[in-house]
Structure 1
Amino acid sequence: MSVALSKPKSSRGLLWLIVGGVVVVLIVVVGIGVRASESRDLKTWTDAQALPSVTLIKPVVIAQGPVLNLPGRMEAYSRASIFARVNGYLKSWNVDIGTRVKAGQVLAEIDTPELDQQLLQARATLASTQADANLAQTTAKRWQAMLSTDSVSRQDVDERTGDLTAKQAKVAAAKANVDQLVATKGFQRLVAPFAGVVTARSTDVGALISAGGTAGKELFAVADVSRLRVYVQVPQTFSPQIREGTTARLSVPEYRGETFTGKVIATADAVNAASGSTLVQLLVDNPGGRLLPGGYTSVQFDLPVQADVVRVPSSALVFDDKGMRVATLDAQDHVRFKTVSIARDFGDSVEIASGLQAADRVIDTPPDGLADDDAVQLAAAPVEIKPHG
């Protein structure tokens, strides 16, 4: 009996031993698998952390051309300084500053006593020479008649004929002198050379008038302000885009929120060496006289859209010994640096004139040490920047 009972106990012990061994083996296998998985995860995480993390941006395609804002000055379409052509005293004036005048309208009249006396003397001289010429003509005819009867010599007749010619020349000279003084007398009336407005009056009744005044001493100034000329200095970079016929918007401080339309009528076609700009002349209608000649104006040109120009943030630019570059990603997420040129700098963003396409994936704020063919990981979806306001 004792032998029979000991065998089952030995079988159960062996069974538990086997089960325990299997459990131990399973625990070891599971532990090794967990360790291997954790090792793989750690390696993957470590490899991922080793790649630089970058943020992509989408370049903005420029749909509307830039606006060029420049200061300008307005001048009257025509301006004339009225000077005296005769000496005398101002007898009267008929217009003051701000008066609108027509072409040929009398502005003032000068009293010319000295010129009047000269004209009287010249006319008297003309009358005297005409009398002498008439007498010489009668004498010459008589001597010519006597020549046919051989009463006088040919020499005497020629002398009388020569005297007539000399007397007639004196008449012509005296008449020319009278005509000159009459023409000068006509300048005693100062008239407007064209329709416009009187912008200056620097004389008064009784003032001594001297002929041939110098600049700045004019008696009156008349300006045609129905149209104004606007002069603008355009930087050399933009001068090829602003030609005759280009329109512009003008604004002045006295009419805030209101704009006027001007058109380019002439360009200097030369660059000022001192300022690096080209002088451009515009014409703006001024029917109501609201715009004042000599005033300041802000001129805005709508420039045409430049082909292949895109805009990116300034933070995307990399400047090193290889020049101005932008970091992009290719289809395999490898870095590709591209050399670019800047068209315009807005501070927070720049317009790229060449070297970059709208479809390129641009890296914003590239990490230091980034080089061509480097692999990177994306931190977020590409961001599209807003156009510059």
Structure 2
Amino acid sequence: MQTKPHTPRNRSAIVAVVCVLGAGAIVTGGLMTRHSQAVALQSAAADNAVRSVNLVAWKDAPNAPLELPARIEAWSRAPIYARVGGYVGRWNVDIGAPVKSGQVLAVIETPDLDQDLRQAQAQLAVARTALGLAESTAQRWQSLVAQNAVSKQEADEKQNDFVAKQANVQALTANVERQQALKRYTRLVAPFDGVVTARNIDVGALVNSGASGTSGSELFVVSDLRKLRVYVQVPQRQVALIHPGSSAVLNVPERPGRAYKATVQSLAQAINAGTGAMLVQLAVDNAGGELLPGAYANVRFDLPAARDAVLVPPGALILGKNGTRVATVDAANRVHIKSVTIARDLGNAIQLEGVTRADRIIDSPPDGIGDGDQVRVAKAG
């Protein structure tokens, strides 16, 4: 069979079909490529919509130095007042002078008391004479009763007179002893070894008995400075960390660079409603006499930090009109915003209250992050 030769017209049709098929393939390939690119873009956009965050790495809190203002007082402080009225005859010690227990500080001249004492002694002598006469009379009348020379009633009256005079002698004796006891108070003495920290009298000054002194103040003040008391108000939050025997470091402004070891002696065991703090008493040795009673001081307690304390970098805080907050992540990587309270500012770290170490806190949360946002944890700690 003879093959029909291809004509130019047939060749043109074949070429056209091939071109159409090629163009269709190119268009189909382009559409598929664009679709895959669109899917990739959507996936990338979805990935970009989920923010990547880092979580705070937990670390133990350092010891918490607690610095508080304090006031120093003498271990023992005795204001000396006059127990009798009179005039200052002499004083023997001035302010700053060391004294021993029983040392005479001053002598008071008491002319009125001396006269009262002499009068009381005279009255006692008269009463004793009358008592002797009443005693002999009572004995004699008792003997006369036995002889029926006098009545029993008359003898009893003499006996009662004797008893009354005996009671009068006892009363007058007590009065003389009281005057003599007051006379001993004309010598003002130091109650213990210490230093005279105040003197408010001078020779010839009139002093009154009691706590009035010369001008409403004590005549002398003797203080024991070998050991001092330190009083400090500890905030309620830190009270549980302080107990008798705890150590502290004491500093005073007049001796920069010097530190003195103090020991907690007792706690008031009550919170002051006005200050929200508890009074704590410490003791500090002052053998060198460098610390002064009544002075201001600074006390530092090196308190142990809580093992479960929550420390975050400052960048983890969200500060705004709603207060201080942090962003946490739950098990489903959803964000939850929590309000917190700053317990301590350590400079490079902040100790928080209101969260625990079980919370996954975002470090440096992105701007605009909100409650319920989906995130991806890129680094846990």
Unaligned 5+ residue runs, structure 2?
1-14
Matches within 5 A, 1:47-62: 47=46, 49-52=48-51, 54=53, 56=54, 58-62=56-60
Residue-pair matches, total? 362
Paired AA for residue 252 in structure 1: V
Whether 1:69 and 2:67 are equivalent positions in the alignment is yes
Larger mean CA deviation between 38-47 and 219-228 belongs to 38-47
Matches within 5 A, 1:337-348: 337=336, 339=338, 341-342=340-341, 344-346=343-345
Cα gap change, 1:354 to 1:62, in 2 (>3 Å): farther
C-alpha displacement of 1:103? 1.6
Contact 1:106–1:191 (8 Å) recurs in 2: yes
Matches within 5 A, 1:145-160: 145-160=143-158
Contact 1:61–1:358 (8 Å) recurs in 2: no
Paired AA for residue 154 in structure 1: K
Q: How far apart, in 1, do the equivalents of 2:177 and 2:134 lie? A: 24
Unaligned 5+ residue runs, structure 1?
1-16, 385-389
Contact 2:337–2:370 (8 Å) recurs in 1: no
C-alpha displacement of 1:203? 0.5
Larger mean CA deviation between 261-270 and 78-87 belongs to 261-270
- 1:184 is aligned to 182
- SS of alignment partner, residue 125 of structure 2: helix
Q: How far apart, in 2, do the equivalents of 1:57 and 1:304 lie? A: 26
Q: Aligned match of 2:115 in 106, 114, 117? A: 117
Contact 1:330–1:361 (8 Å) recurs in 2: no
Q: How far apart, in 2, do the equivalents of 1:126 and 1:292 lie? A: 52
- 2:79 is aligned to 81
Contact 2:91–2:107 (8 Å) recurs in 1: yes
Contact 1:325–1:338 (8 Å) recurs in 2: yes
- SS of alignment partner, residue 271 of structure 2: coil
- SS of alignment partner, residue 131 of structure 2: helix
C-alpha displacement of 1:369? 3.8
Q: How far apart, in 2, do the equivalents of 1:329 and 1:212 lie? A: 74
Paired AA for residue 327 in structure 2: A
- SS of alignment partner, residue 241 of structure 1: coil
Q: How far apart, in 2, do the equivalents of 1:195 and 1:375 lie? A: 74
Q: How far apart, in 1, do the equivalents of 2:60 and 2:111 lie? A: 75
C-alpha displacement of 1:255? 1.8
Paired AA for residue 285 in structure 2: D
C-alpha displacement of 1:72? 0.8
Whether 1:103 and 2:101 are equivalent positions in the alignment is yes
C-alpha displacement of 1:286? 1.6
Larger mean CA deviation between 165-174 and 151-160 belongs to 151-160
RMSD: 3.5
- SS of alignment partner, residue 268 of structure 1: strand
Q: How far apart, in 2, do the equivalents of 1:329 and 1:213 lie? A: 70
- 1:285 is aligned to 285
C-alpha displacement of 1:221? 0.6
1:70-105 Cα distance to aligned partner (Å, 9 max, x none): 111111112111111111111111111111112211
C-alpha displacement of 1:63? 4.0
Cα gap change, 1:38 to 1:121, in 2 (>3 Å): same
C-alpha displacement of 1:149? 1.9
C-alpha displacement of 1:131? 0.9
C-alpha displacement of 1:270? 2.1
Q: How far apart, in 2, do the equivalents of 1:146 and 1:345 lie? A: 100
Cα gap change, 1:150 to 1:375, in 2 (>3 Å): closer
C-alpha displacement of 1:331? 8.2
Taking structure 1 as the reference length, what is the TM-score of the superposition? 0.80
- 2:9 is aligned to none
Larger mean CA deviation between 250-259 and 144-153 belongs to 144-153
Cα gap change, 1:370 to 1:225, in 2 (>3 Å): same
Taking structure 2 as the reference length, what is the TM-score of the superposition? 0.82
Q: How far apart, in 2, do the equivalents of 1:321 and 1:117 lie? A: 83
- SS of alignment partner, residue 206 of structure 1: coil
- 2:235 is aligned to 235
Larger mean CA deviation between 277-286 and 80-89 belongs to 277-286
Whether 1:199 and 2:200 are equivalent positions in the alignment is no
C-alpha displacement of 1:256? 1.4
Contact 1:88–1:209 (8 Å) recurs in 2: yes
